[in-house]
Amino acid sequence: MMAFSCGVAHERAKSPDPPSPAAIAPPDPRSDTTARIARIERGLLPPVEIRGETPAWSLDERMRAYRIPGLIVAVFDEDRVLWSKAYGVADASTHEPMTTTTLMQAGSISKSVAALVALEEVALGKLDLDADIQLALTSWTLTTNDFMRAAPVTLRRLLSHTAGTTVHGFPGYAADESVPTVPQVLDGKPPANTARVRVAFAPGSQFSYSGGGITIAQQAVIDVEGGRPYPRIAEERVLGPLGMTNSTYEQPLPPERALHAASGHHDGRVIAGRRHVYPEMAAAGLWTTPDDLAQFLIEIRHAREGRGAHVSKDVAARMTTPVASARGGEVGLGFFLWKKNDGEYFGHNGDDAGFNAMSLAQIGKGYGVVMMANSDDGSRLFPELRRAIAREYAWGGYDPPRFDRKVLAPSALAALEGGWALGDDDGFRLAVREGRLELLVPMAAPDELVPIAPDAFVARASGARVAFARSDGREEILLTEDDGEPQRAKRLANDAASPIFLLDAGRTQEAISMYRKRLRVNPKDPVVARERFRRLAGDLVGERTAEAIRVLEVATALYPESPDAHEWLADACAENGDLTRAHGEYATALRAMSRDPKASADEKTIFRARVTKEMQRAAGIP
């Protein structure tokens, strides 16, 4: 059983400098902050509350449920950190306690800090925000193509993910793996484990998240600084001036810092080598703490108002001014921007191997929170804890809505049963069980639809709103999720006619047969795209890995010559403990790659090295 410490807290109002773990005193039980923390810890909340029947969860309970060994939280308001607290352990195998100064991997929050590093270079006149980035690059060249002739790749576009560049993210390198240089990463040359970064559409034409683009920006910063190490540049430009003393971009961590760093965990277990190495430092390589990130967010907000101690108003405005629409909100330079009921927010989430992190700050009122977990399941906990914090501090944008349950006649519920189509091979079923209406999305856990009006429901687990109506004499459902646009669902005459429903019912071969027919009719049909099955499976691996395997069996059946499809299936089998089948799929993946006429020699070398390592791990070979 995993060990959890009771946690340590400190109030920044009383202690402006981050204390060492040994110097942290137990909180005063008479303190208002102590009482608030206690209410938060026993008041984690779902996305919606049903009056009189929604129990609050305890933080300890939810950490155990999600198998999260350790967590650090920092809550701030206006110009100071109100409190920060550590929970659990930094390493589940050694039971080393987590502290507020334990270093954690920030994942893509690294991009926010890296954006400030790059903009400080702009302020010094070493980089130009809107010039062709090729003018700054001296040690690596971005291959020119027709897209780039129409519009240049610029630093502004790289930092806002609008440069048209490829490579979404980076998996990092285990402790026993060779680590490539940044030019090798950008060229996709061994020992890099990702593809070459290139321009895939016209720069400036659309948003497309690209860690590859941020890595180009990292190389540009290095080049205009005469090849100096990126961690040293970041320390001089941002980390040092902002007092982020527990932060570094050093990869791997030097021994003296590694002693104070958490280990990454997957499904409650320490990952191989404890932590991955990220030469893509600007995109994913920042080691930090919630206290340091809170200080960073506070400085950006102060600078927006002309009160920054180290950052100019112009730089902060650029970072928090929308450049393009993205993810239900907008994107600035290094930050995502979105609106809630009580105003505007900026922030970023992070995901490295074995680590999750999130950060947000309210622009107008100045409050915010940073959470970091040494688990890749941390993102499941963060929304529940954020809602508890929001309720305690009256943050209107994140407090879950409350509803009264309406009593509907059994016949009214029964009339809604059946299959509903949201789109082509996309939909859900409704079923009445024990007097309650359940939303059954294929390959997902059931969710109760609670009636809140005669023709309106709310999904208890997801918070989705469902409204029933009639249009042109036909029944339809309006399904709204995450404050997005309503999606219209039409009643299906026979929900088994959709292959996704067959797959959900375990009728895999029948589903494969239907998908094959679609593939023959239209090879470009998005319903049968390999990436669609990968995305579906990615949401299932962990608690529902057996279902992920079914999804990936479809991918390998439709694309038997795809090395990637067989590797995905092998990974899922290894996760599920079926090492014999995993080994067989890895071997099939290697054979498929050797026969792939479209793969370059470098791509084959990278794939072979990665899959061979995965085979060894599945077999228990260090």
* Total count of residues recorded for the chain: 622
Tokens of 95: 């039971």
365 and 289 within one domain: yes
514 and 525 within one domain: yes
Question: Under a CB-based contact definition with an 8 Å cutoff, are residues 574 and 614 in contact?
Answer: yes
Q: How buried is 289 (Cβ within 10 angstroms: 0-12 exposed, 13-18 middle, 19+ buried)?
A: buried
Higher pLDDT, 605 or 248: 248
582 belongs to a structural domain = yes
Determine phi and psi for 402, rounding to 5 degrees: -115, 140
Q: Looking at residue 274, what is its pLDDT?
A: 95
Residue 50 has pLDDT above 60, yes or no: yes
User: What's the whole-number mean pLDDT along residues 529-547?
Assistant: 88
Q: Looking at residue 55, what is its pLDDT?
A: 79
471 and 562 within one domain: no
354 and 247 within one domain: yes
User: What's the whole-number mean pLDDT along residues 125-143?
Assistant: 96
CB hemisphere CA count around 194 (13 angstroms):
26
436 and 387 within one domain: no
Residue 2 has pLDDT above 60, yes or no: no
293 belongs to a structural domain = yes
Q: Looking at residue 16, what is its pLDDT?
A: 35
CA 542 to chain centre: 16
Question: 392, 426, 442 — which closes off a domain?
Answer: 392
176 belongs to a structural domain = yes
Beta bridge partners of 466: 457, 479
Angle between helices 110-123 and 211-224 (to 10 degrees): 40
350 belongs to a structural domain = yes
Q: What percent of the chain has pLDDT over 90?
A: 74
Q: Looking at residue 470, what is its pLDDT?
A: 74
376 and 256 within one domain: yes
282 belongs to a structural domain = yes
554 and 453 within one domain: no
Q: Looking at residue 150, what is its pLDDT?
A: 86
Question: pLDDT by residue (tens digit) across 366-418?
Answer: 999 999 999 999 999 999 999 999 999 998 778 888 999 999 999 999 999 98
CATH number at residue 604: 1.25.40.10
What range does the domain containing 439 cover? Answer: 410-496
Question: Under a CB-based contact definition with an 8 Å cutoff, are residues 416 and 438 in contact?
Answer: no
CA dihedral 128, 130, 133, 134 (to 10 degrees): -100
Q: Looking at residue 156, what is its pLDDT?
A: 98
223 belongs to a structural domain = yes
Question: 392, 422, 449 — which closes off a domain?
Answer: 392
Residue type (1 letter), 68: I
Question: 340, 359, 392 — which closes off a domain?
Answer: 392
CATH number at residue 125: 3.40.710.10
Question: pLDDT by residue (tens digit) across 452-471?
Answer: 999 999 999 889 999 988 76
Helices assigned H by DSSP within 286-370: 290-304, 313-319
CA dihedral 153, 154, 157, 163 (to 10 degrees): 10
CB hemisphere CA count around 90 (13 angstroms):
17
CA dihedral 525, 526, 528, 531 (to 10 degrees): 140
N-to-C CA span, the chain: 25
363 and 229 within one domain: yes
Split into its structural domains, the chain has a count of: 3
CATH number at residue 457: 2.40.128
123 and 215 within one domain: yes
Q: Looking at residue 384, what is its pLDDT?
A: 96
299 belongs to a structural domain = yes
Q: pTM of the entire structure?
A: 0.87
User: What's the whole-number mean pLDDT along residues 142-165?
Assistant: 95
Q: How far apart (Å, rounded) are the C-alpha atoms in residues 446 and 186?
A: 43
243 and 116 within one domain: yes
354 and 293 within one domain: yes
When the pLDDT of each residue in the chain is averaged and rounded to a whole number, the result is 90
Q: For the ranges 18-27, 139-148, 356-365, 479-488, which has the lowest average pLDDT?
A: 18-27
50 belongs to a structural domain = no
543 and 484 within one domain: no
pLDDT band for 425, please (50, 70, 90 cuts).
confident
- In three-state form (DSSP H/G/I as H, E/B as E, the rest C), the secondary structure along 40-69 is HHCCECCCCEECCCCCCECHHHHHHHCCCC
Diameter of the chain measured on Cα atoms: 75
Higher pLDDT, 484 or 594: 594
